[in-house]
Amino acid sequence: MLLACSLALAFDTKKVPSQDIFLDDRQVKSYASTVEFAVVGNTRPAKPGEAEATKRVATKGATEAIIADISATIQEGRTEFVVLLGNLVPGSSLAGWKAFTKTWVEVISGSEPPNEGKMRTRVLPVAGEDDAAGDDRYTGMGAAFPGMGADIGFARVATWYYVDLEVGGHTWRLLTVDTGKEILGSRWDEQVAFVEKVLTEDQDAYDSLLVFMYRPLMTLAFGQKSNVNEAPKELLDLIEAETKVGALKAVFAGKSTTNEVFLPHGKYGELYVTAGGGGAPADTPERWGHAEAAGLTDVKLETTFDFAILREFERQAELRKCNPVAMDHAKSAESWTGFPGAYEASCMPLQGWWDVSLTGEKMALSYRQLQPDNTLKGIYTAAYSGNKLGWTIGK
């Protein structure tokens, strides 16, 4: 107990700048027809020597470019809030949280004023493992986002919660969970009890469900693991068991510093989105492979997403003057024949963010990819068109 307290009090949390959360746990907000929000993860700065040690690729200005692109949608009156999928800081410290605030000050409202007087929005934060580094009680995160999480008493910070959005008569439940089982310790059981209760106590209170977590159930990124500590699968199995049939529409995760889309159960199943390409050193994702830790022996990127990335990779490879071998690797050709295709981050890092909109029972996603000139461009869309039509995939 003394050790835990000393970790929690390693810095003065009263000096941590605060950000405005979009809604508190269990709160409801209504919209006449549509609500739009941004999803991105891993926007923390790189750690010293991290890229070299992990064989990831450091890129300059990616996070700033993504934030500027999100800000533009806020100025247009489109983006209602931002979901941050963990790893907001390289470690929980006063300096880290101050740097986070400085990075996001033009987008997220809070105790610090914007530099340029632009419109800002609020945030739904997800806890990542780096956010707990040196602070396994999440006191720094709790100070940065006052009021976040379910009420678990004793001035503790819960990293799980839900909010409901009533959109055109259809209620979307947005459930945030913490996949850091080894970090939570006994709090894991509290989270499990919370999930069981809020999904079963009044199933008529919501129609569709979205889940936000840090660690993905499946990923094809080099150096990353699917279903770390089996926590993502344990939570998702629980969610599937406790929610009503067909309610779960999509699962968003971070950790892997890239962007991926999986649709393993077909057009009527849930969509899995890795949205971790927010700027930290970029991972290289394979196009197909295995996620045996998640119980999946044959995993591939969603076909249209894969082809959209392949087209963009080929275009950017020419602009960036990449080594031709990188294109061979992407196409599983020449010396890479017989190996899984992969999008080498050294040629084109899959960095960007997801624009999500809800309209009644329908949901639309657009992926915006970083360009060589640090602008962003939409290159892929997917839409859930209701229970009768399921998922339809665009460009």
Asked if pLDDT for residue 5 goes beyond 50, the answer is no
**pLDDT on residue 50:** 87
Closest C-alpha among 378, 388, 332, 343 to residue 357: 378
Three-class DSSP category at 162 = strand
3-state secondary structure string, 88-154? CCCCCCHHHHHHHHHHHCCCECECCCCCCCCCCEEEEEECCHHHHCCCCCCHHHHHHCCCCCCCCCC
CATH for 11:
3.60.21.10
Q: In this predicted model, what pLDDT tens digit does every residue of 326-339 receive, in sequence order? A: 999 999 999 999 99
pTM of the model: 0.96
Closest C-alpha among 42, 129, 98 to residue 349: 42
Q: Which domain holds residue 19?
A: 2-393
Give the separation between CA 283 and CA 56, rounded to whole angstroms: 5
Give the separation between CA 257 and CA 283, rounded to whole angstroms: 5
Give the separation between CA 326 and CA 320, rounded to whole angstroms: 11
Q: What angle do CA 285, 209, 182 make, to 5 degrees?
A: 60
pLDDT band at 395 (very low <50, low <70, confident <90, very high): low
Q: In this predicted model, what pLDDT tens digit does every residue of 120-174 receive, in sequence order? A: 999 999 999 999 999 999 999 999 999 999 999 999 999 999 999 999 999 999 9
**pLDDT on residue 2:** 34
Tokens of 312: 């963009």
Asked if pLDDT for residue 1 goes beyond 60, the answer is no
- For the chain, the average pLDDT equals 95
Domain total of the chain = 1
**pLDDT on residue 58:** 87
Q: In this predicted model, what pLDDT tens digit does every residue of 26-81 receive, in sequence order? A: 999 999 999 999 999 999 998 888 888 888 998 899 999 999 999 999 999 999 99
Q: By the 8 A CB rule, do 214 and 257 touch?
A: no
Give the separation between CA 347 and CA 339, rounded to whole angstroms: 18
Which of residues 353 and 10 earns the better pLDDT score? Answer: 353
- Residue indicated by tokens 């027809």: 33
Q: In this predicted model, what pLDDT tens digit does every residue of 201-234 receive, in sequence order? A: 889 999 999 999 999 999 999 999 999 999 999 9
Q: Point out which residues pair with 81 in neighbouring strands.
A: 37, 122
Q: Point out which residues pair with 110 in neighbouring strands.
A: 19
DSSP 342-375: B--TTT----EEEEEEEETTEEEEEEEEE-TTS-
Give the separation between CA 235 and CA 219, rounded to whole angstroms: 17
Three-class DSSP category at 297 = strand
Averaged pLDDT for residues 378-395: 90
Averaged pLDDT for residues 172-183: 98
Averaged pLDDT for residues 239-258: 97
